[in-house]
Amino acid sequence: MGFRFWWFVWVVVVMNGMMVGVGGSTGSAMASVMRPEMGFAMWSFVMRLGSMLMLDGYPFYANGWNSYWLMVAGSEESTRPRVDEILRDGAALGLTVCRTWAFNDGSYQALQMSPGSYDEQVFQALDYVIYQAEQNGVRLLLTLVNNWEDYGGKAQYVTWAKAEGENVEDADDFFTNSKCREYYKNHVKAVLTRVNTITQMEYRDDPTIFGWELINEPQCTSDPSGEKLKAWVGEMAMYVKSLDRKHLLTVGTEGFYASDSEGRSSSNPSGYFGTVGTDFIRDHDSPWIDFATAHAYPDAWLSPDTSVDEKLEFFHNWVEAHTEDAQKLLRMPLLFTEFGLSDKKPGFSEDKRDAFYSVVYDQVYQSAQNNQGALAGAFQWQLLPPEMSHWDDGYAIIPTSSSSTCNIISLQSQRLNSLYKPVCGIDMGSYMLEGVYENMTSPHRHIIPNLFEEGFNYIN
């Protein structure tokens, strides 16, 4: 680690506001965004520096959640208050990033009704979601398509292509068929260049958006080698970056290792998961991808007779393996963007769920404590308002409940906030710096009750 690295750290911390581009970047990112009607500068963009996420010269660790349904709920006046409620409640828990869908293809309340044809009412609902997130001090990780048939997904793209005379049959043709790839790129462009009808800002210019996710939980079982998916990721990641160099980008994987992976394939739930056409290492090994993702659902992945304690052990090893591989092999940040323990499975108790959350929360905190680890945050699945309790898939948390898990979530927010400090004396390894941004802080920072002592006693 030489002079060049420390010069960049000095730039980030001291000379906030200069605009630079490195690592082959063809453009520079916005420093911050001014809302004319408010009269003051708003957020900066979260960026990547080596294996860390950075914001305003400080390491950024995300305590996040999933509410995938925000756009759908926002599309009807009668259900729109649920968007306000869950963003407000998530912020009250100190959560900083919400992962949600920026797609709904050809299904009920579809955003994209047919290729390139959009329902303006639903698009305005997404406008509203982004606006309300900013108002509550929450950033959004927006997913662009689904691997599964829910909300259309890759199968809907294949159906559209087949109707146009394309020789496609299997949903996995989504990754290779030229028409499907064209449809997807058109959707990406429609979303990224959308002008928000409330803020009058293109999505690609809005720092409320934390980043983009190419696809939710991609698998390509027709090609166990993983080559089809890797090629698709490379093409689409480069295309997204050609439109938007300001936001972070990830793939959206569950974190499974191919059987011949360079990473820790022995940590897979079973041998089957090494044959689903995805690999944690190869899929993220791209100059256009900024951070890696993994999910964790031992209830669904392990055999039905697996005890809760065994699920906890699996989860600990799963997080540890991906953190080590993200740090040493990928040298990029890692986010666990979905995790949960179902209350519909035998042996469940709230104490067990609290312990399950603490597995990943503790490892995120340890990563943050020494500013050396790649594990940059975790997003629980999922938060629901009481009015949507019938949407509970077994993993949902209702923030207004007296659940002890809500306390665990809030305590994690507190202890990450307590570590908010500038970079200094850190071995970053390799790095990628897209831009340096003004040292502006959110006008909507949240004050959380001081429960440090209780929190550290419980979680550590």
Report, as residue numbers or ranges, the catalytic residues: 217, 338
How far apart are alpha carbons 307 and 346 in whole angstroms?
Answer: 8
> Residue 98: which residues within 8 A CB-CB, separation 6 or more?
64, 65, 66, 67, 70, 87, 90, 133, 138, 139, 140, 141
> Residue 100: which residues within 8 A CB-CB, separation 6 or more?
66, 67, 68, 69, 70, 71, 129, 140, 141, 142, 143
Q: Which amino acid is at 283?
A: D
How far apart are alpha carbons 413 and 448 in whole angstroms?
Answer: 8
Cα 96 to Cα 89, 368, 404, 460, distances in angstroms: 11, 15, 20, 22
Which helix (H) or strand (E) segment holds residue 248: the answer is strand 248-250
3-state secondary structure of 145: coil
- Report yes or no: 40 and 443 within 8 Å, Cβ to Cβ: yes
> Among positive and negative, which fits the CA dihedral 105, 337, 239, 264?
negative
> Residue 390: which residues within 8 A CB-CB, separation 6 or more?
none
How far apart are alpha carbons 97 and 60 in whole angstroms?
Answer: 11
Q: Which residue, 88, 10, 29, 76, is CA-closest to 245? A: 29
> Residue 105: which residues within 8 A CB-CB, separation 6 or more?
111, 112, 145, 146, 151, 152, 153, 156, 157
- 75 half-sphere exposure, CB direction, 13 A CA radius: 18
Cα 413–chain centre separation: 17
Neighbours of 32 (CB within 10 A): 18
Q: Using the 8-state DSSP alphabet, how is residue 214 labeled?
A: S
What's the full length of the chain, in residues? Answer: 460
Q: Residue 164 burial by CB count (10 A; 0-12/13-18/19+): exposed, middle or buried?
A: exposed
- Report yes or no: 161 and 168 within 8 Å, Cβ to Cβ: yes
